[in-house]
Amino acid sequence: MKAFALVSPGNFGWTEIPDDPPPGPDEVVVRPTACGICASDVHYWLHGRIGTQVIENYPFVLGHECAGVVVELGEGVTNVTVGQRVAVEPAIPCGRCAPCTEGRQNICPNVRFLATPPYHGALRQSILIPAGNVEPIPESVSFETAALCEPFGVGIHAARLADVSPDETVAIFGAGAIGLSTAMAARIRGAARIILVEPIKERRSLAEAMGFETIPIDPDPVERIRQMTDGGVHTAFEAAGDLRAMSWVTAAPRLGGKSVIIGIPTEDTVPLDIHRVRRAELTIYNSRRSNRTLPEALHLLDGPAADIARMCTHRFPVSEAGRAFGTVSRREDGVVRAMLMFD
């Protein structure tokens, strides 16, 4: 089949990849219609790897935040019909390992995840996937908004993992798609005050339009947060994937507070102010992707989280993926989520 793939490190092009087999029992074939560009896709595009996950074989197909139309059903599929609009859950966990049986499929060591080597992503004519990985899209929700369910699910999972509770104060470093998604999830959980820290003016404007407080990164955002919240927030989230945010996330919580790391840094190790962390007896969470959040994300998008649709700031035809990736990697033009649209 045709795919729009990385044909060599850093270079996109149309290419042929082997066809999938016909759908087996409880599998469906989805024709993608919209696919968001995630920071993880940009890491693979620029570096060919994220930590120890390395693209060994080219061409390699990126994209895991996708929605589309069901075009074929395997035997026994009852949750969707041919022609149905669906959002796609990109993680296919093994279902048998200890984390899977403990309900933590997102840390399954055997997981197959779209666009994580060696598994191709969504920028191709069709995707063969278990029927349990697709969820019908409500009529009022567009394909590109439905594709935002994946990053929104990451925010829902992070807020749930840290058990953000009503009346908590929250700071989030980074107002990209993951930061805004986390802010929305924290609001839905009842957080009293949500402050996003973000250097890019357009992103702060979007966060404010969605009803959140924002501050820039200069002067010292931690000092500012402490003043605004009487000594620090209950919970701080790192959603930028950069080293400064990694240090701020353990500096911003109040004594006994919580720090949550969501972002993916380019570096393999990051500094930790251990004396601050131990004196304040902080709880540090690492939040990994999302855990079966797709139905909830779609449901919320059709109601209290409808503003998530505003994160889709740019649309490009798939054939212009190279230009789209450039815009995203340079964080140009106020981009939050750029969506690749199929004809």
Residue 73 Cβ vs Zn ion, minimum distance, rounded to whole Å: 25
Residue 339's nearest CA partner among 150, 131, 179 is 150
Name the token pair of 182.
Answer: 């986390």
Distance of CA 284 to the CA centre of its chain: 20
Question: Which 27-46 positions form the footprint of Zn ion (CB under 5 A)?
Answer: 38
Provide the 3-class DSSP secondary structure of residue 237: strand
Mask for 71-110, x = binds Zn ion (CB under 5 A): ----------------------xx--x--x-------x-x
Question: Which 101-160 positions form the footprint of Zn ion (CB under 5 A)?
Answer: 108, 110
Q: Which is nearer to Zn ion, 69 or 100 (CB)?
A: 100
Strands (E), 89-188: 91-92, 112-113, 127-130, 134-136, 169-173
Is 320:299 a contact under the CB 8 Å cutoff? no
Q: Which is nearer to Zn ion, 133 or 247 (CB)?
A: 133
Pairwise CA distance, residues 35 & 41, whole Å: 11
Please give the size of the binding site for Zn ion, defined by CB under 5 A.
7
Q: Which is nearer to Zn ion, 177 or 251 (CB)?
A: 177
Residue 28 Cβ vs Zn ion, minimum distance, rounded to whole Å: 21
Residue 41's nearest CA partner among 267, 324, 315, 246 is 324
Q: Which is nearer to Zn ion, 250 or 327 (CB)?
A: 327
Is 310:177 a contact under the CB 8 Å cutoff? no
Q: Which is nearer to Zn ion, 18 or 103 (CB)?
A: 103
Q: Is 188 in the site for Zn ion (CB under 5 A)?
A: no
Residue 287 Cβ vs Zn ion, minimum distance, rounded to whole Å: 13
Residue 49 Cβ vs Zn ion, minimum distance, rounded to whole Å: 16
Q: Is 249 in the site for Zn ion (CB under 5 A)?
A: no
Q: Is 180 in the site for Zn ion (CB under 5 A)?
A: no
Strand-pair partners of 67: 34, 87
Residue 323 Cβ vs Zn ion, minimum distance, rounded to whole Å: 20
Q: Which is nearer to Zn ion, 40 or 250 (CB)?
A: 40
Pairwise CA distance, residues 306 & 141, whole Å: 9
Name the token pair of 247.
Answer: 């240090």
Residue 108 Cβ vs Zn ion, minimum distance, rounded to whole Å: 3
- Interacting residue ranges for Zn ion, rule: CB under 5 A: 38, 93-94, 97, 100, 108, 110
